[in-house]
Amino acid sequence: MKKIDVAVVGSGIGGSLFAKLNKNKNLKLFEKDSNLGGCASTFKRYGHHFNAGATTFVGYENNHVLKEIFDEVDFVPNISKSDVAFRTIQNGQIVDRIKDFDLFLENLNKVYFHENNYKFWKKIKEIDEKFWQLKNVYFSKYSLKSYLNTSYFIFELLKTFGTDLLKSADGFINSELPNISKEYKTFINAQLLITLQTTSENATLLSMSLGLAYPFHDVFYANKGMGNIFDEMLKDVDVHKKEEILKIIRRTDGYELISSKDSYFAKNIVLNSTIFDSKKLFDDKNIVKYYDNYDFSDQSAFVIYLVINSNKEFLNHYQILLDENITNCISNSFFISVAKKDDEKLAKNGLSVTVSTHTKAKYWNDLKKNDVQEYEKQKEITQNEILNELKNSLDLKDDEITLSFSGTSSSFNNYINRINCGGKAINFSTVTQLPSAKTPFEGLYNVGDTVFAGQGWPGVALGVKVLHRDFNGKC
């Protein structure tokens, strides 16, 4: 049995950032798949490369945690700044989400005019800016120091935001944008579904502000695919690809890990698996009971992968807004990521395109288990519906799409060992149930999008920063 100090299970954003920060320790990073990055990986199929998810790269700027981490490990990602974060198209009308506030507002008013638009969006931007200026962002449990530092962070939040911290997103919308149109509300909620995994009905003003304001920051395109960031970042980390951790046995002085290839003994384990999937690795009743405290988040993605051969010019990202929910989905919008024409990997023999919308994880997983034919039928219905809307919105002809296939929660489970996407949204009712990276068990930690601070590169990076602080005794 091989002895190590730290075993990181999963190469998603959280696991990879933590492994990079602690590469000089006796550490191994285990990844079931042949591709690094989990939900943010890049894979090859039918001779083309595709990003697993339709997403942007955000948070790489001064005074932001992601750049702080990259600077600390002396890593510069291969990225290009996007002039337009993404373009929204609703009933043929266009609004570009751009960093320039005044120009964004000018474009917004042409489509979703409201006399209070300036006041509403200025407040959103100000709250977001205040949050990222906080110096003591922290959330952890299970030790006196952790609770004290968490209390200090909550005090700082109250001091910074005052009564705004207690406001609901819907309450703020109703007070500042009275009689908001259905189309305008769709515009807001479609963006929140991507960033928060929920709509304004279940969000706070603070979380809504963070979710809506990210295009006011620098937004980037990942050259050669999002997975290239992980490949380059982890070059000097001891990575074990295609080695799945099957079982973890708790011992008095650490943990025994049984993999698909070998066995290890580790003093510390950092799980990049979801908070509700982690229990599958253990037999220890107390650990299983701990993970049973967290309910499964039944939200996932329906993703379509395309290759486009066209002379048209495209932006890197679009969001298409519809009047009604897409069949078999819980959203009336979908997000599109398009390869740059000069991308030597994603634009080889056509532009690689990833399209994603929100759906229920268990629906597709159960359907495939019980009736494969019906699963394929419903998948084709949803895929065709999205493709028709995409072709209309981007003015594409049938013969310009040379390849298309789709994936569901069942597909994700085969490759990255999870059927859902993202964790539960943080609001007044869920904040006390929020998992921290630290668990009640010595040497056992979780990281990723289902623990503090949430989804996306910035959210996961915040959680990694807190974990790194705790792990290295700075708490």
Predicted confidence band of residue 323 (pLDDT cuts 50, 70, 90): very high
Alpha-carbon span 420 to 191, nearest angstrom: 19
pLDDT at 427: 64
How do residues 265-311 score in pLDDT, each as one tens digit? 999 999 999 999 999 999 999 999 999 999 888 989 999 999 999 99
State residue 303 phi and psi, 5-degree precision: -125, 135
pLDDT at 217: 96
The answer to whether the beta carbons of residues 355 and 336 sit under 8 Å apart is yes
What mean pLDDT comes out for the span 251-260?
Answer: 97
State residue 449 phi and psi, 5-degree precision: -85, 0
The answer to whether the beta carbons of residues 443 and 415 sit under 8 Å apart is no
**245-257 burial, b if ≥16 CB within 10 A, otherwise e?**
beebebeeebbeb
**Pairing outcome for strands 245-251 and 254-259:** antiparallel
The answer to whether the beta carbons of residues 442 and 474 sit under 8 Å apart is no
pLDDT at 455: 87
Of residues 141 and 428, the one with the higher pLDDT is 141
How do residues 151-198 score in pLDDT, each as one tens digit? 999 999 999 999 999 999 999 999 999 999 999 999 999 999 999 889
Beta strands in 191-295 (DSSP E): 219-222, 239-241, 245-251, 254-259, 263-271
How do residues 77-104 score in pLDDT, each as one tens digit? 999 999 999 999 999 999 999 999 999 9
Give the whole-number percent of the chain exceeding pLDDT 70. Answer: 98
H or E element: which one contains 163?
none
H or E element: which one contains 260?
none
The answer to whether the beta carbons of residues 291 and 439 sit under 8 Å apart is no
The answer to whether the beta carbons of residues 284 and 250 sit under 8 Å apart is yes
The answer to whether the beta carbons of residues 372 and 275 sit under 8 Å apart is no
How do residues 426-459 score in pLDDT, each as one tens digit? 666 666 678 999 999 999 999 999 999 988 999 9
Contacts of 228 (CB under 8 A, 6+ apart): 42, 78, 222, 345
What mean pLDDT comes out for the span 134-150?
Answer: 93
Distances in whole angstroms, Cα of residue 259 to Cα of each of 36, 244, 270 = 17, 5, 15
pLDDT at 271: 98
What mean pLDDT comes out for the span 26-34?
Answer: 97
State residue 147 phi and psi, 5-degree precision: -65, -40
How do residues 404-434 score in pLDDT, each as one tens digit? 999 999 988 888 888 888 776 666 666 667 8
Of residues 299 and 377, the one with the higher pLDDT is 377
Mean pLDDT over all residues of the chain?
95
Q: Residue 352 above 50 pLDDT?
A: yes
pLDDT at 413: 85
Nearest Cα neighbor of 387 from 300, 299, 303 is: 303
The answer to whether the beta carbons of residues 38 and 272 sit under 8 Å apart is yes
pLDDT at 433: 79
pLDDT at 434: 87
Which tokens sit at 432?
Answer: 């006390």
Alpha-carbon span 37 to 338, nearest angstrom: 19
Alpha-carbon span 19 to 13, nearest angstrom: 10
Predicted confidence band of residue 475 (pLDDT cuts 50, 70, 90): very low
Give the homologous superfamily in CATH for domain 2-36+234-296+423-471. FAD/NAD(P)-binding domain (3.50.50.60)
The answer to whether the beta carbons of residues 405 and 45 sit under 8 Å apart is yes
Where are the CATH 3.50.50.60 domain residues in the chain?
2-36+234-296+423-471
State residue 334 phi and psi, 5-degree precision: -145, 150
pLDDT at 474: 58
Q: Residue 394 above 70 pLDDT?
A: yes
Neighbours of 69 (CB within 10 A): 21
pLDDT at 30: 98
Contacts of 68 (CB under 8 A, 6+ apart): 465
Q: Which of 311-315, 353-357, 428-432 has the lowest mean pLDDT?
A: 428-432
